[in-house]
Structure 1
Amino acid sequence: MSVPHEVVFFTGATGLVGGDVLRRMLAADPALRAVVLVRDAGRWEQVSTRLALPAGRVGAVVGDVTRPGLGLSADTRVRLAREITAVVHAAADVVFSRPLAVARAVNVAGVRHLLDVAAGWPRLRRFAHVSTAFVAGRRVGRILEGEERGDAGWVNAYEQSKHEAEWLVRASGRDWVIFRPSTIVCDSAAGGVTQYNAVHLGLRLLHDSLAPMLPAAATSAIDVVPRDYVAAAIAVLALRQDLAGRTLQLCAGSGALPVDELLDVTWQAWSRRPEWRRRGIPRPVLTDIATYHRFELAVEETGDSKLRQAVRALSYFAPQLALPKAFDTRAADAALGGPAPAVRTYWARMLEHLVSVGWCEAVKGVAA
């Protein structure tokens, strides 16, 4: 049986970015085939239908990155060894509040298990790994694309586990490329939100006056990116031969907005709704991290359970606001022929979407 020139093994195809990367790669190369690793065949059927993937070009195998051998049968591993030419690894546990051991089970052990299995794939010529720009952790200043430092520590277990995963990929001896997207917030055209995260939670708390203080300087830049930009970038670059051994930061870079400007845009957008404007909710006070920690302690001593719950929810990511970073994107911009969309071009549309759909149940749970 002849084997197509490219057969890509995907993890995370049911997640925020992976499915769109798969859809775009299939559309760009009519000869490309894919095999997706899924834990739930039923959910994959729903996702593949929603993505309208071409019939006959995508197969699914049931397994789990947290298990040795990916939980695959011997027969499946033999078949994959004959076919797979590339890997796009997008599976991850992205919950910031996880204990380190739990985050490592997916983000570190998952990479190790995948690399172990891939060691038996003789046709494999590319391992594309989706990481995060926040492997930079508590570092401040300019963050270069080729840097691998972890000397400053991390704000949460997600950041640390993704840093550790990058080291495994680099040490694998494989032909690899690493993508470091910033925080993904929406689709750029309509501002629609596919998956809610810490940014949306923070905005909900601001909207409901449950985040009266933030640990940030007014000029600190907030770097976020649209989902479609990240998916398109990975789809185009994952198999590029000239990018072997490169780390590409898929970030807003110079298009990020300083905190004070971001708050201006946010309050202007929300103030267009009379019912919110009448509430007269003030902008949060921006302060240093030491003062913010005293604020957290003071909130814990109050009897305000709603405010206490909100501040606790912020604790897993708010400290990043006090660690200003400027992500270098020169290599990614050169490879893509241009930068990511500037945050200002889609931020207000995302805010309108969030309010118009009533936010989401996960975010409501903290702010309700």
Structure 2
Amino acid sequence: MDPAEVLMEEAKARQKPILEAAARGDSEIQRFFSGTTALVTGGTGFLGKLLIEKLIRSCDVKKIYVISRAKKGMSSKDRISALLKDCVFDTLREANPDFGNKIEPVEGDVAELQLGLSVQSWDTIAKKVDVIFHMAATTRFDETLRQATLINVRGTREILALAKQCKNLRSFVYVSTAYCQATRDRIKSEVLEHIYPSPIYPDALIGMAESMGDERLVSITK
């Protein structure tokens, strides 16, 4: 057998008890998510794909709304259709070929006000969603201050505004970028798992990103 195939078989063998436990569906987490309707931002990203697969395969969610924007000539719907062909869904596809019916693409953009959602999409999410996973973010270290602010800061403000209008919300899960506290003054110090005070009031930063010229924003980025 090819060495790569040997590694794959070993990996599958290690996964077997995990898949068997998931198939029982009796864990506290599975019971919590079973039958829920979820909203996911960042669903086309690396972590987002894994989350969507896990929610459907292990937790039997009712529906997942996935916010995505048109990109590279592909509509939101086309991007989600392409996403479902990813190899991360192979195991799920074998067990449930129609798993894609649980995924509902929603055209939007977290960098826009009200997440770029239509009034109808906003209202539908507010009425039907039980759980929100906010994973959309830019993780580029050389991102412009404007884009980083509009996506990571204002985008989070907008999804929180939507969450507050969800009539049946049971859980809001926010996935932060890994290096949001990796500031120069914390070199060689311990970064703890708690919310640090912001060096600038978030609404002030958003206001600058919305109104300042490019040259001035670049000059204050440091």
TM superposition score category, shorter chain reference: 0.5 to 0.7
1:16 aligns with 2:64: no
The structure with the largest helix share of the pair is: 2
Task: State the partner residue of 1:145.
Answer: 193
Which secondary structure does the structure 1 equivalent of 2:194 belong to? coil
Contact 2:39 2:64 in 1 (8 A): yes
Contact 2:39 2:131 in 1 (8 A): yes
User: 1:137 and 1:85 mapped to 2: Cα distance?
Assistant: 33
Q: Which amino acid in the other structure matches residue 117 of structure 1?
A: L
Contact 2:38 2:61 in 1 (8 A): no
1:98 aligns with 2:143: yes
Contact 1:137 1:150 in 2 (8 A): no
Offset at residue 150 of structure 1 (A): 5.1
Structure 1 ranges of 4+ moved more than 4 A: none
Contact 2:35 2:60 in 1 (8 A): no
Q: Which amino acid in the other structure matches residue 28 of structure 1?
A: S
Task: State the partner residue of 2:85.
Answer: 49
Contact 1:136 1:149 in 2 (8 A): no
Q: Which amino acid in the other structure matches residue 103 of structure 1?
A: A
Q: Which amino acid in the other structure matches residue 143 of structure 1?
A: V
Larger of the two Rg values belongs to structure: 1
Task: State the partner residue of 2:134.
Answer: 89
Q: Which amino acid in the other structure matches residue 14 of structure 1?
A: T
User: 1:102 and 1:71 mapped to 2: Cα distance?
Assistant: 15
Contact 2:112 2:150 in 1 (8 A): no
Give the 5 Å matches for 1:1-368: 5-40=35-70, 41=76, 42-50=78-86, 51-52=88-89, 54-138=99-183, 139=186, 140-149=188-197
User: 1:29 and 1:149 mapped to 2: Cα distance?
Assistant: 36
The structure with the largest strand share of the pair is: 1
User: 1:124 and 1:98 mapped to 2: Cα distance?
Assistant: 33
> How many pairs are equivalent?
152
Contact 2:139 2:177 in 1 (8 A): no
Contact 2:138 2:148 in 1 (8 A): yes
User: 1:125 and 1:45 mapped to 2: Cα distance?
Assistant: 28
Unaligned regions of 5+ residues in structure 2, if any? 1-33, 71-75, 94-98, 204-222
| Deviations, residues 322-354 of structure 1 (Å, cap 9, x unaligned) | xxxxxxxxxxxxxxxxxxxxxxxxxxxxxxxxx
Once superposed, what is the RMSD of the aligned Cα atoms? 2.4
Which secondary structure does the structure 1 equivalent of 2:159 belong to? helix
TM-score, normalised to structure 1, is: 0.38
TM-score, normalised to structure 2, is: 0.61
Q: Which amino acid in the other structure matches residue 53 of structure 2?
A: R
User: 1:149 and 1:19 mapped to 2: Cα distance?
Assistant: 32
Q: Which amino acid in the other structure matches residue 48 of structure 1?
A: L
User: 1:132 and 1:80 mapped to 2: Cα distance?
Assistant: 25
Q: Closer, same or farther in 2 for the Cα pair 1:118/1:30, shift >3 Å?
A: same
Offset at residue 128 of structure 1 (A): 0.7
Identity %: 26
Q: Which amino acid in the other structure matches residue 137 of structure 1?
A: A
| Deviations, residues 69-112 of structure 1 (Å, cap 9, x unaligned) | 22222222222122101111111111111221221011111111
User: 1:82 and 1:98 mapped to 2: Cα distance?
Assistant: 35
Q: Closer, same or farther in 2 for the Cα pair 1:134/1:120, shift >3 Å?
A: same
